[in-house]
Structure 1
Amino acid sequence: MASIALSLPTMMKLLAFIVVFFVYVESIDQQKPDNGVIINVTKRFSFPDFQGPRTAHDLKLLGSSVVDETGRVRIPDTTQKDVDLKHLAGRAVYAYPIRVFDPVSRTPASFETTFAFQLETLESNSSSGDENGGDGGGSGFTFMFAPDEFTVGRPGPWLGMLNDACDEEYKAVGIEFDTRENVEFGDPNDNHVGINLGSIVSTITINASEFGVNLNDGEIHRVWVEYSGESRFLDIRLGSDRLGYPSKPMFSDRLDISDFLKEYMFVGFSASTGNFAQIHNVFSWNFTSTSQASLRVPSPETCDSKLITGDGDDGGGAHINRLNGFFIFMTVVLLVALALVSLYYNRKHRSGNKSNEAVMLPAVKERPRPPNKPRRFTIAEISSATRCFDELHKVASDERGDTYRGTLLNGCHVAVTKFSTSYLRSHGVYWRRVGKEIKAMSKLRHPNLVAIRGWCFDHQETMVVYDYVPNGTFNEWLYGIGVLPWSRRLRVVRDAAQALSYLHSQKHAHKNVTTSSVFIDVSFRAMLGDFGFVMSGTESNQFEAAVSQPADVFSFGVLVLEVVAGRKRYKSESDLDGSDSDLDRDLLEWAWIMHEMKEKEKVVDGKMCSVLNMDQAVHVMDIGLLCTLQESKGRPSMAEVVEYVSFEKEVPELPASRPMALFPYTSTTGLCSSSYMCPSFK
């Protein structure tokens, strides 16, 4: 009997398998063609205005957007003082996903929506330049279906709809109301409506002037949109809110949007400003959608087969069903009997040997942790969050390892950096040292630092879990499509300087300062992440801080020059024009040469054109050059750099000629390479 009790878990697993097997056999025997019943799933909501607590619960504001005291949505946010309203983007979306596509029948949902909006142009625009040389107006806004509730698109002509971090899987559908003519996007004029399917380039454009509508006249307009999913038919009507429902549609034709929809999406508005500051107001919004779904119910044939009749061929099937039921019943009875026998002998065994009770210790209960406190994750949690490190979830890769995006069980979006074991070993670094530094850095909190949510040291793996920043890296924005205006570049430089200054004040260093380690959040604030963490494992923390902090300043100087010039320090072979390969390869050396020749304006990115403040750009370039000086020759601390980039303190005069040697140090690995001397000691 003792042997039976000891092997009870195995017996229970075996019996459970038998039960599942018979259930499976019975299900196979009874399997019939699935005749699903098509039902309609309806979602309806209404915002007569955007006041009250319900709005805060049902409406999600992203980027530069706000609900003002009068109950209207405003993009950009005009409540903040001393904020430049140019080159901003924001979104206001319904806070819950809506089913807009049936993947079984591949049928889009039918929907109806109406909303009132007003485009308010500021008078200060008349004295400003324009992307295309026009006067007045802003960039316009979009009614859209978005695949997530945390991405904000690029400002300017992108209307806050898409950005450089959006890949081909980012499906979006929008109807834009555009008051700028962007020739590169195929706009017909500065007063048009466009239908965008997965792209900022409109698939269909309509000249609003032909329908007596001027989007930029300051009047409140109302839009009615109706779409039939079954017939793939779209009807758009636009007119003055005071005149009511227009008799003539602006667009009415077949349009299949199914290829650009996911099953569940978020619906709402996105808008942006460019060289001009325009306020996009939404006063009210009603929305109704109806999607098809297959409801699986027993078919009449299945129900008839269950009836017991006196004749027919169903007798054999009924006999098999009764036999399967008998086996299941006997299995359950046997399982209960074995459990009772095991309980009896285990209790008798414990009463005969009291000394063994000391071995049965109660499980240790872990103390509850605050929800945002960094903690250690198991490999199972990380694997589940990243879908077993699926290649589709990989967002970055370098010699240190790979970075994946993921979602924890509580719904939090994270980025997981998985260090390469061979990389750590090749540099003589052990996970204990890395782990100690990760835990220390996870305690730091600053608005311009990407928070570390936790770590994982399991199965010889070393991983760091960060908060996910959805708008991608600054590298994608600086070198991606379009031209990043100077005001945005200057803000990134200031934010990165603030983050580094805070790190250094806490006796830490970043050790990986590049454009790829600067991230852009939904408010277009720069956040420093992707920390280097490791150096040589034999050096002390004190030595590491002494080396790494000045090295951070040097790397920041290179980053500043890249921001000003709009190019990387070292050009790739494909980018070389063959004129002078040495100068083309090294931006730092070229910048010093231009400083000697008093032609620093040539370094500034000429593509910025009218969205450039040349005096500020040259001033910031001087700060970058100052950061690349030898430490003993005037390289500043990051606290001083913050004062310089904020224009609170005069930048010291640079030497007339460049240093004798330009440091080959680069922080792409977070190490101070043994083949070169660290710039702190050069």
Structure 2
Amino acid sequence: MAAAVPRLLPLLLLLTLTAPPAAAAAALATAAAAKNVSIDSATLSFADLTLLGDSFLRNGSVGLTRDTGVPSSSAGSVLCTQPVAFRGPNATDATAVASFAARFSFVIDNPNAGAAGGDGIAFFVSPGRATLGATGGYLGLFNSSGSAKNGSAAAIVAVEFDTMANPEFADTSDNHVGLDLGSPVSVAVADLAASGIDLRSGNLTTAWIDYRSADRRLEVFLSYAPAPKPKRPVLSVAVDLSPYLNGAMYVGFSASTEGSTQQHTIKEWTFQTFDLPSTANSSSFESNATSNSSDQAVPTSTAHHKRVGLALGILGPVALAVAFVFFAWVSIRKLIQLTARNDGAFSPELLKGPRKFSYKELSAATKGFHASRVVGKGAFGTVYKAAMPGAATTTTTYAVKRSTQAHQSRSEFVAELSVIACLRHKNLVQLEGWCDDKGELLLVYEYMPNGSLDRALYGEPCTLSWPQRYTVAAGIASVLSYLHQECEQRVIHRDIKTSNILLDGNLSPRLGDFGLARLMDHNKSPVSTLTAGTMGYLAPEYLQSGKATEQTDVFSYGVVVLEVCCGRRPIDKDDSGGKNVNLVDWVWRLHGEDRLIEAADARLAGEFDRDEMLRLLLVGLSCANPNCEERPAMRRVVQILNREAEPAPVPRKKPLLVFSSSASMKLQEIAFSCGDDVRGGYSVANPTSPKSEGGDIER
């Protein structure tokens, strides 16, 4: 690393000498900001969205209103966090405004058959990011005074898909599309009776909204998915949106319902701007330069010399820039290679206890890593059963973890090796050795003959009795207390789940898979990292901020405890096999109804200690509290399970948590991993009273 630093000094000097002036840099920044954009919900992360009101994420979709009792009110919005430029620099007229095209699929569903409809859904463009208004016909965009929250209502452009005829807004029917410009009263309306589209049908419907600034026309198309875009629009309006599309705006969706329940869900969406004009006056500048050169009489030789000078003046900086880029590329590449060698290398003498195996002996012990030897697969590799010949006729059995993509997983390999090599606890999987030959990354553990807790708990039949389950919960609590508070450095595991808890020959629990673990000093705060782990086990604040702490492990442990008691997965189907049920929510609901004991696994057939079951269920709920400050430390949990302390009081109603959204997980990852709700940042009791600008995660 030190040798690479002097090579960077010429880079810094050259960069300083060739840096553009402040004014030029500002102009470049402006030009970069004012450019056409393309947004696809499939590529967005949680940090790219701002959730307001009752909005939430579920299975990769965005729900805007809640399933509530009748009568009730609900409103929610979702916006892209980053603004979109609709004008170029110095743009003044209507043609200087960008055209745009939006495509999205949505469902408007009324869960109460026979009840009146709600109020509808809207696509909108707003000057403010905290746009949430009143419920009902205001669609969560405007309030009763006609203004929008945190932004000028007069600048809001919205296309509403309305399912309620509100006479005060001059609605033509309870099934119409309208264009709203700064007001809930539509400037143009199209009744959908003749189109064959019923917005309240519960069918997946796709909408296309196209605005062409040159033609000053907005068109809306509708079709039941997955049909292609229709040829004829349901609404076509001659309108100039240039007074409304001023500079940077925010794009999003909003919905509301009042007096009856209606659920509004956005399944997927894309948005793009185009025809955004380049920097103003560029074409006129070129024409003026051309006319000036033709009007002036310049001698041929003088003109030739000027052309040569102009060519040198242009080619000189270009050649210098090319040389700079090449020099920077070579230097940075060497620096990266040097850093990778330093980071990826580790010396055997640094590891006390585990020994280095050769690739040859591990390959022979696993029969060439044959598929018949696979005993498990994880996020960073595959685990093989290895039979290693020992002295005389004895054979030692190991579990060998092999990275599936060595070049991408070296950091995880080094992390796991450095963490677990220095740990000693009866409830930890013991690391026996390692290997990094032939480009392979291999970790060798003691073999656990009874597999994972996940397999034992959900296999048919379940092989764990109640005393064994209680022992598992107590053992994992003990090892987490050791990792969090008894090591020289804290260890945050970050991936506590049943598949990472193994069972030895006596069915005692062993915590393994430290591929995501991090070491940190006791007196230091956790650093922010990319959110990693398994959905269903992730604490709300971890998914939001990416900061792993002891409390995020405590949350995951609480979910595991509830699994042990209930025999249900964190996200499971209901009894009818249709709707996803969140385990924490389900147990908390039973607790609120004073039926907590009914959460016990039916496969136990009542063969359990009632007091122990209630104690463990209350511990699970305490650890899975959405508010991290209310969760107990693992040392306290150990005392409770050892009957040295009583469980902390657990509120009958699950607490709510509100915070701003800044996590980095992709929406598709959230959908693939669980089906949890990631909710908006407004009080459920009063949807129009904001608590924050972001979203909350409710499990």
Bigger RCO of structures 1 and 2 (CA < 8 A, at least 6 apart): 2
Specify the TM-score bucket, using the shorter chain as the normaliser.
0.3 to 0.5
TM-score (norm 2): 0.38
